């Protein structure tokens, strides 16, 4: 048979009948119960006119104080192909009665047409990094047929937007789900309907709104309510809330796959040793199988994260070898572990950017990582941890111990809540027991930059910048990385 004839008789698969374009006008109109103004195809979906790229569909969403219809000119100037609107316009569009409801309808249509494995990720710490690592693993093994929510699009707008962007031909979809209050994960998991639901860890994040770690565990466990029949819950075996999570998963009809150091964990850590690149070389047991892989990201928390990734990939039927390769090549994410070399007298200093989020567990983990980082001096720029309510003073004061254990030489404390830690460090200095950590207490990022400039960076310094996003410590990172090597 000739080559041409072979191509003409290429075996057809069900996937070949799926659309190549993201959405066309008829499918959009059907999905959102709207009326199309004409024929068009779109390659993306966007809700912010500033982020619109050529070929995108722009949703003119309504908020409490904002109306996306005001930005239609900007969206089309940036290259939008069409818009979802609640009033007729002169550009190509789909007319609906409620644009916000239309986004959720489009998300439901996107989820319904994909036959691949869908993975939902939540947890108090590490969910964005784990989501990105699972995506990297499955994208590698599927040769680009994986999709995920970008950045931290994990709320009541970000999740349906991420679903609406999922191509029909996706073999895998990975979605992050966040929450501040009870019931929020339940609403998101009903949209995502995961085949695999991952909880990274349970820690006192958002404890102000939920009151206890047990309540946090219950709120995170809402993700299991959306699992499709025959789905799998991937949960941390080392958590004190393991049985609570396990019972919740079983109660929703899910299979359970556990990960951790526990002897009973399904994905069990056997060994982890430091690697030459600053990460770790990890060996795990998966039943009778053994798997050895590298983790590029430093820190014990990333060893645990890698076990969750392996559990998710295994549950989704993915390639564990490809997952190991992906973990060995992953770099830090902006605001979540990205590392920068910046100019300093005599060479360069290391900046560790953890400025996007902070809670007591992640603070301790990243301070421990700083303590393991080779450096002539270790500097910690720590911003307030938000949403801790009545627990805030105690949790901030308790950071004195991990600061001492990390061998920190200078601390910059930013925000009102850090008063408790400043008081604790002062108290330790007055007792003069062991090492005394000099510190500056600053009102905001501008003062923090000035304090760090006055202290003076030197070659060989390692600087950790970590705090809740609202503190604005990204400004500190941006200021110093402007002189990046």
The CATH code of the domain that includes 40 is 3.40.1390.10
In this structure, the answer to whether residues 351 and 205 fall within a common structural domain is: no
In this structure, the answer to whether residues 95 and 150 fall within a common structural domain is: no
Listed residues 329, 364, 398: the one ending a domain: 329
pLDDT per position as a tens digit, 219-233: 999 999 999 999 999
Judge whether 109 lies within some domain. no
The CATH code of the domain that includes 163 is 3.40.1190.10
The confidence score (pLDDT) of residue 350 equals 94
Judge whether 127 lies within some domain. yes
The CATH code of the domain that includes 454 is 3.90.190.20
pLDDT per position as a tens digit, 101-142: 999 999 999 999 999 999 999 999 889 999 999 999 999 999
Residue 60 pLDDT > 60: yes
Residue 41 pLDDT > 60: yes
In this structure, the answer to whether residues 309 and 433 fall within a common structural domain is: no
Judge whether 180 lies within some domain. yes
Domain tally, the chain: 3
Judge whether 58 lies within some domain. yes
pLDDT per position as a tens digit, 73-103: 999 999 999 999 999 999 999 999 999 999 9
Per-residue confidence at 476, pLDDT binned at 50, 70, 90? very high
In this structure, the answer to whether residues 324 and 346 fall within a common structural domain is: no
Per-residue confidence at 18, pLDDT binned at 50, 70, 90? low
Judge whether 14 lies within some domain. no
pLDDT per position as a tens digit, 282-316: 999 998 899 999 999 988 999 999 999 999 999 99
Per-residue confidence at 63, pLDDT binned at 50, 70, 90? confident
Residue 172 pLDDT > 80: yes
pLDDT per position as a tens digit, 439-450: 999 999 999 999
In this structure, the answer to whether residues 348 and 431 fall within a common structural domain is: yes
The confidence score (pLDDT) of residue 458 equals 94
Residue 208 pLDDT > 80: no
Judge whether 105 lies within some domain. no
Q: Once rounded to an integer, what is the mean pLDDT over residues 371-386?
A: 94
In this structure, the answer to whether residues 158 and 290 fall within a common structural domain is: yes
In this structure, the answer to whether residues 75 and 190 fall within a common structural domain is: no
Q: Once rounded to an integer, what is the mean pLDDT over residues 250-263?
A: 97
In this structure, the answer to whether residues 308 and 365 fall within a common structural domain is: no
The rounded distance, in Å, linking the Cα atoms of 57 and 151 is: 19
Residue 477 pLDDT > 80: yes
Listed residues 329, 348, 368: the one ending a domain: 329
Predicted TM-score of the model (pTM): 0.84
In this structure, the answer to whether residues 345 and 441 fall within a common structural domain is: yes
Judge whether 7 lies within some domain. no
Judge whether 8 lies within some domain. no
The confidence score (pLDDT) of residue 483 equals 67
pLDDT per position as a tens digit, 146-167: 999 987 789 999 999 999 999 9
In this structure, the answer to whether residues 266 and 176 fall within a common structural domain is: yes
Question: What domain range is 412 assigned to?
Answer: 338-481
Listed residues 68, 100, 132: the one ending a domain: 100
pLDDT per position as a tens digit, 404-416: 999 999 999 999 9
In this structure, the answer to whether residues 379 and 405 fall within a common structural domain is: yes
In this structure, the answer to whether residues 147 and 253 fall within a common structural domain is: yes
- Give 52 or 274, the one with higher predicted confidence: 52
């Amino acid at each position: 048979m000739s080559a041409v004839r072979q191509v003409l008789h290429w075996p057809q698969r069900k996937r070949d009948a799926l659309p190549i374009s993201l959405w066309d006008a008829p499918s959009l109109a059907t999905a959102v119960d709207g009326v199309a103004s004409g024929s068009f195809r779109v390659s993306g979906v966007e809700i912010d006119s500033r982020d619109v790229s050529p070929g995108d569909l722009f949703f003119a969403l309504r908020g409490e104080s904002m109306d996306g219809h005001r930005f239609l000119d900007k969206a089309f100037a940036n290259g939008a192909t069409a818009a979802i609107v609640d009033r007729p316009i002169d550009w190509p569009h789909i007319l609906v009665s409620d644009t916000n409801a239309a986004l959720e309808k489009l998300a439901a249509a996107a989820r319904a047409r994909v036959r691949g494995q869908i993975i939902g990720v939540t947890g108090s710490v590490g969910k964005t990094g784990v989501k990105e690592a699972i995506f990297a693993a499955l994208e590698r093994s599927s040769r680009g047929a994986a999709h995920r929510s970008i950045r931290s699009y994990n709320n009541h707008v970000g999740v349906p937007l991420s679903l609406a962007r999922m191509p029909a031909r996706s073999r895998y979809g990975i979605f992050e789900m966040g929450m501040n209050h009870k019931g929020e994960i339940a609403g998101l998991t009903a949209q995502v309907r995961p085949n695999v639901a991952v909880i990274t860890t349970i820690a006192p994040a958002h404890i102000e709104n939920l009151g206890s770690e047990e309540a946090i565990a219950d709120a995170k466990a809402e993700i299991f309510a959306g699992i499709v029949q025959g789905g799998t819950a991937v949960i941390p075996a080392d958590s004190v809330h393991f049985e609570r999570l396990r019972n919740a998963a079983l109660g929703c009809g899910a299979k359970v796959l556990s990960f951790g150091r526990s002897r009973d964990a399904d994905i069990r850590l056997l060994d982890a040793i430091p690697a030459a690149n600053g990460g770790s070389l990890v060996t795990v047991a998966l039943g009778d199988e053994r798997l050895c892989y590298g983790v590029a990201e430093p820190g014990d928390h990333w060893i645990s994260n890698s076990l969750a990734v392996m559990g998710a990939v295994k549950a989704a039927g993915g390639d564990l070898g490809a997952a190991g390769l992906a973990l060995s090549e992953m770099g830090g994410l902006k605001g979540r572990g990205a590392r920068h070399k910046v100019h300093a007298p005599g060479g360069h200093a290391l900046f560790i950017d953890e400025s996007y989020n902070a809670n007591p567990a992640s603070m301790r983990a990243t301070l421990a990582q700083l303590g393991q980082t080779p450096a002539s001096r270790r500097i910690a720029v720590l911003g307030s941890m938000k949403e801790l309510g009545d627990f805030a003073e105690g949790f901030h004061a308790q950071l004195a111990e991990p600061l001492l254990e990390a061998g920190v030489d200078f601390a910059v404390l930013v925000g009102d809540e850090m008063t408790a830690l400043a008081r604790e460090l002062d108290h330790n200095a007055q007792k003069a027991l062991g090492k005394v950590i000099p510190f500056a207490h600053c009102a905001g990022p501008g003062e923090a930059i000035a304090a760090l400039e006055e202290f003076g960076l030197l070659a060989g310094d390692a600087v950790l910048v970590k705090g809740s996003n609202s503190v604005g410590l990204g400004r500190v990172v941006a200021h110093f990385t402007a002189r990046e090597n």
